[in-house]
Chain A
Amino acid sequence: MRAPLRCELTLPARVTSGDPIALTLRLSNPGAESIAFLGWGTPFEGMWTGPSIDVTRDGAPQPYLGPMVKRGAPSAEEYVVIPSQGVVTAELPLHEGYDLSRPGRYQIVPRFVLHDVVRGGDVRLPRRLDAMRQEPLRCPEGLLEITPRH
């Protein structure tokens, strides 16, 4: 059994409406071999490229406002490598992907999918689009309260 990546999600608990909201993802590799994954659709890409998170405000789904991208073949630079026992982190402004302007209690449910995951160092990167192996990335949910600005 291969050890999965461990994911931690960090969000501020309470923010005033209109203030920036950083979502931080911290991935650690508890296994004995290195793991390389394609950053597409995760904060490791440095921008929103799809609705990879379900956001609800007081139970009502909030639409994704960012872009959606049709990909070409990946390049090696688009992979993130975590050595055995290593850790990587990435941060993305949540408010750039979703409308968080209204006060309320927001639930943040990550639905990240890693479009290609390579374990061990024997595989030459990048893989062709048709040879990629995708895996869901399980991350904990977050709660966020947005309070009115007075």
Chain B
Amino acid sequence: MTLRRSAALSFLALAALTVACSEAPQAPVAPEAEVTGISEALRESRDLVIRLSVPAQALEGAGPVLVRIEATNVSTRSVSVPRWFLQDGELEEALFEVTRDGRSLPYEGMHVKRPAPTAEDFLTLAPGGTMHVTVDLQTGFDLSRDGVYGIAYRGQTGIGPTARLVRSAVQPLLLAGRLPKAVEVGEVTPMAGTLTFAGRCSSTQQTQIRASITNATTYATESDGYLAAIMSGTNRYTAWFGTFSTAAQTQMKGQFANIRNAFETKPITVDCGCKKTAYAYVYPGQPYKIWVCKAFWTAPALGTDSKAGTMIHEMSHFTIVAATNDYVYGQAAALNLAATNPTNARKNADNHEYFAENTPFKN
């Protein structure tokens, strides 16, 4: 333990020295400077140069999108990098800024919980040294659509107060022929996404879940279309999302488009193992797994607090779908929330569900 500690300490001392020699003349860092975290507000490193390359400027068809990262230490000192910023294979951090047709894509890959790093967690690049790794960009970003992508690396050297941001230039990449193909799931369903069962669902339960996903897809498609078509605050819109504005409509249209897209194209797992009295639950950061509980099985197929509506509610919770909260539960409270706090109503899961169920019917 003592050895490990001293190694870590000497690394920190070295890192501090590197900063003091190569970067301090521009803007000295106060010894107590509170610069922590991974990416926000970090100063840029001029020691490490990152170059990206892809197998070809245009890639055709589905499959992995391999990006080679080459890191070169152009300074006269050793540079240390947390190893997860330069490792082969699957992404474990949001290491890239990716755009498709000019629009930024969210990172959807792993976020690994790590203990405080020790000396063994760092790679060291000698002055003039180069190393390269290759990662599959698909493990962190939704590359299922054709388009012109822009890929930039964003990592760091060091850690804590001595951390520096490392960025590459944007590497353009054209992806074509990537549209997901329809997946055969035994019987013919209108969905291209796959449905998997966990937690010992009986065959009756599997049938009910399959129907609930199909119905939820219909709900999401109808809601998405409705939100695209309205020009002002209709009864149905204002009842569940409050005062109408174009910006609010755009937000809701986007959220329901995401819900629809998730039902249509994403691999969904439904787990029947929950014995709670609740309807269902999800972990927002773990799409697309949904646990269904006791109240789900006695719920009607369609309408208020139905099986299909519950699926809309749960799908809306996922951070990469609509990132909704549970500010209130139940129709009365949801109506009241829309009237008194539209901002929260537009991020409340039950308001999404009741809008989609539209029961009793509102025009």
Contact A66 B283 (CB under 8 A): yes
Contact B281 A72 (CB under 8 A): no
**CA of A58 to CA of B33, assembled, Å:** 12
Q: How large is the interface on B (under 10, 10 to 19, 20 to 34, 35 or more residues)?
A: 35 or more
B278 part of interface (Cβ distance < 8 Å)? yes
User: Contacts A68-B326, A75-B277, A132-B330 known; A60 to B116 CB distance under 8 Å?
Assistant: no
| A contact residues around B328 at 8 Å (CB) | 115, 134
Contact partner of B4 (CB less than 8 A), chosen from A65, A102, A150, is A150
Shortest Cβ distance from B8 into A: residue: A150
Tell me the smallest distance from the CB of A99 to a CB of chain B, in Å: 6
Contact B116 A71 (CB under 8 A): no
**CA of A131 to CA of B336, assembled, Å:** 12
**CA of A70 to CA of B295, assembled, Å:** 9
Contact A101 B310 (CB under 8 A): no
Main SS of the interface on chain A?
loop
| B contact residues around A66 at 8 Å (CB) | 283
**CA of A148 to CA of B319, assembled, Å:** 29
Tell me the smallest distance from the CB of B30 to a CB of chain A, in Å: 15
B317 part of interface (Cβ distance < 8 Å)? yes
Contact with A along B251-264 (1 / 0, CB 8 A): 00000000000000
User: Contacts A72-B279, A72-B295 known; A103 to B116 CB distance under 8 Å?
Assistant: yes
Contact with A along B321-339 (1 / 0, CB 8 A): 0000111111111000000
A69 part of interface (Cβ distance < 8 Å)? yes
Tell me the smallest distance from the CB of A29 to a CB of chain B, in Å: 24
B349 part of interface (Cβ distance < 8 Å)? yes
User: Contacts A72-B277, A72-B295 known; A150 to B1 CB distance under 8 Å?
Assistant: yes
Interface residue total, chain A, C-beta cutoff 8 A = 36
| B contact residues around A41 at 8 Å (CB) | 326
B100 part of interface (Cβ distance < 8 Å)? no
| A contact residues around B332 at 8 Å (CB) | 129-131
Contact A70 B284 (CB under 8 A): no
Shortest Cβ distance from B36 into A: residue: A58
A113 part of interface (Cβ distance < 8 Å)? yes
**CA of A75 to CA of B313, assembled, Å:** 22
A6 part of interface (Cβ distance < 8 Å)? no
Contact B326 A72 (CB under 8 A): no
Contact A69 B294 (CB under 8 A): no
| B contact residues around A65 at 8 Å (CB) | 283, 285
Contact B327 A113 (CB under 8 A): yes
B280 part of interface (Cβ distance < 8 Å)? yes
Q: Which of A67, A68, A99 has the most CB of B within 10 A?
A: A68
A18 part of interface (Cβ distance < 8 Å)? yes
Contact A70 B314 (CB under 8 A): yes
A residues 113-146 touching B (CB-CB < 8 Å)? 113, 115, 129-132, 134
Tell me the smallest distance from the CB of B201 to a CB of chain A, in Å: 18
| B contact residues around A132 at 8 Å (CB) | 330, 333
User: Contacts A50-B325, A129-B330, A130-B330 known; A67 to B281 CB distance under 8 Å?
Assistant: yes
Shortest Cβ distance from A41 into B: residue: B326
A51 part of interface (Cβ distance < 8 Å)? yes
**CA of A67 to CA of B283, assembled, Å:** 4
Tell me the smallest distance from the CB of B101 to a CB of chain A, in Å: 28
A63 part of interface (Cβ distance < 8 Å)? yes
| B contact residues around A63 at 8 Å (CB) | 284-285, 319
B32 part of interface (Cβ distance < 8 Å)? no
**CA of A103 to CA of B163, assembled, Å:** 14
B residues 273-295 touching A (CB-CB < 8 Å)? 276-285, 291, 293-295
User: Contacts A101-B114, A149-B115, A150-B8 known; A68 to B284 CB distance under 8 Å?
Assistant: yes
Contact A17 B116 (CB under 8 A): yes
A57 part of interface (Cβ distance < 8 Å)? yes
A104 part of interface (Cβ distance < 8 Å)? yes
Contact B116 A68 (CB under 8 A): no
B34 part of interface (Cβ distance < 8 Å)? yes
| B contact residues around A58 at 8 Å (CB) | 34, 36-37
**CA of A132 to CA of B332, assembled, Å:** 9
19 contacts between A and B (CB under 8 A): A49-B281, A51-B325, A57-B36, A57-B37, A63-B319, A64-B284, A66-B283, A67-B283, A67-B291, A68-B284, A69-B278, A69-B281, A70-B326, A71-B278, A72-B277, A73-B295, A104-B36, A113-B327, A150-B5
- List the interface of chain A (C-beta within 8 A of B): 17-18, 41, 49-51, 57-58, 60, 63-73, 75, 99, 101-104, 113, 115, 129-132, 134, 148-150
Starting from the known contacts A70-B279, A70-B326, 13 additional A-B residue pairs (CB-CB under 8 Å) come to: A57-B36, A58-B36, A63-B284, A65-B285, A67-B282, A70-B281, A71-B278, A71-B329, A72-B293, A72-B295, A101-B114, A115-B329, A148-B116
